[in-house]
Amino acid sequence: MDKTFAQDVISGLTSKEKKLSSKYFYDDEGSRIFREIMGMPEYYPTNCELEILTEQASNIVSATQFSKHFKIIEFGAGDGFKTFQLLEYLVSENISFDYIPIDISQEAITTLSEKLKKQLPELSIKPQVGDYFEILEKVSNHNVPSLLLFLGGNIGNYQPDEVTSLLELFNKNMNKGDKLLIGIDLKKNPNTIRTAYNDDGGITKRFNLNLLRRINSEFDGNFNIDDFDFFCSYNPFSGEVKSYLVSLKEQLVSIKKLNLEVSFQKNEMIWTELSKKYDLSEIQKVAAQSDFKVTQNFFDSREYFTDSLWEK
C-alpha cells in the first residue's frame, strides 16, 4: 500500500474543503487516459510544445552556449516522445551529450529507452528510475554542464508556495552556468483554455473520476463513480484552472483499508487539480524568486505555450 497516497486521501477527504491531489491521477489507467487527453484536438499544449521542440531545437541548443560535452537530464520523462525532436537534432549534428531521462515509473522508462534505442541508436542514454533530486545529486558533476528539462507544463500543477520551493530545489542541485528548460502554459483567450479542460467528449471528466476508481481498487473503497460529476473553471485573472469532482447526492462512502467513512452533501465538491497559466512577467518573477535568470522564451507560432530557458 502506498503510504503517502493513503495519508493524503485521509487528510484530503476529512478536511473541511475536500481535496485529492492530481499527482495521484497517474496510475496505469490514469496515464492511459492522459495519453488520450494529449491526443484531443482541444488539448493544445502537447502540439505547441512539439512545435517548439521541432522548429527551434537548434535555437534552443545554441542559447545554452554549451561548447563541450554536456548532459541533458529530463524530469518526468515518461514513456512519451516529448524530447525526441531535440535529441534527434543533437544526434544529427554530431553534438556530444548524454541523455539522462528520470521517471518514477520503471515501466515508462523501459518503454522510452527501448523506443529510443531503436530510433536513435547513436544516442548515449542513461535512464534512471526514482526520486528526481536524489538522482540529480548522484549525476551532478562540476566538469560537465547540464541542461535540465522539465517539460509538458507540469509546473502548472503546483500551488504558488510549492512552485518556489520546487524551483529552489532545482537551483540548489544545479551548478553555476547549468540551464533549465521549463515548459509553461501561457494565459490566452480564456475560451481556448476552458475548452482544453472541459472537453465535450468527457475524457477529462473520466481522467478525474479515475482517481475515485483508483481509491476503490487500492483501498477497497465503494465510491459509486456514477454519483459524481466533474466541474472545472478558468479564472483569466489569476490564470488558474481548477478542477473538481461533485457529489450528485447526499451519500456516505466507506474506504475499508483506510478505516474511513466519508459523508458528502449533495453538490459537495472535491478539489482535484490546479493547472495554472502564466504570463511573461509572472515567469520573470518566479524565476527571480528562485535565483534563476531567464535567458530566452521559445514560443509556438500562436504563442500559447513557452519553453523557457533559465540559467543558474
Q: Which residues bind ligand AVJ (CB under 6 A)?
A: 37, 45, 152-154, 156-157, 197, 204, 207, 273, 275
Name the DSSP letter for residue 227. G
Is 175 within 8 Å of 145 (Cβ atoms)?
yes
DSSP β-bridge partners for residue 181 = 149, 309
Which of 145, 156 has the CB closer to ligand AVJ?
A: 156
In the bound complex, what is the minimum distance in angstroms from residue 34's beta carbon to ligand AVJ? 7
Which of 30, 221 has the CB closer to ligand AVJ?
A: 30
* Phi, psi for residue 129 in degrees, rounded to 5: -115, 130
- To the nearest 10 degrees (0 to 180), the angle between helices 3-14 and 203-219 is 110
In the bound complex, what is the minimum distance in angstroms from residue 284's beta carbon to ligand AVJ? 21
Is 24 within 8 Å of 273 (Cβ atoms)?
no
Which of 99, 150 has the CB closer to ligand AVJ?
A: 150
Which of 83, 275 has the CB closer to ligand AVJ?
A: 275
In the bound complex, what is the minimum distance in angstroms from residue 188's beta carbon to ligand AVJ? 13
Which residue minimizes CB distance to ligand AVJ? 275
In the bound complex, what is the minimum distance in angstroms from residue 38's beta carbon to ligand AVJ? 8
DSSP β-bridge partners for residue 48 = none
The Cα-based distances of 104 to 79, 101, 246, 309 in angstroms read 11, 10, 30, 24
Which of 53, 61 has the CB closer to ligand AVJ?
A: 53
Spatial CA neighbour of 49 closest among 2, 82, 88, 95: 82
In the bound complex, what is the minimum distance in angstroms from residue 197's beta carbon to ligand AVJ? 5
Spatial CA neighbour of 77 closest among 45, 37, 48, 107: 107
Q: Are strands 251-255 and 260-264 parallel, antiparallel or unpaired?
A: antiparallel
Euclidean distance between CA atoms 5 and 198, whole angstroms: 26
Which of 64, 208 has the CB closer to ligand AVJ?
A: 208
In the bound complex, what is the minimum distance in angstroms from residue 99's beta carbon to ligand AVJ? 21
In the bound complex, what is the minimum distance in angstroms from residue 45's beta carbon to ligand AVJ? 6
Which of 47, 140 has the CB closer to ligand AVJ?
A: 47
The position carrying cell 487500492 is 218
| H or E stretch covering 246 | strand 240-247
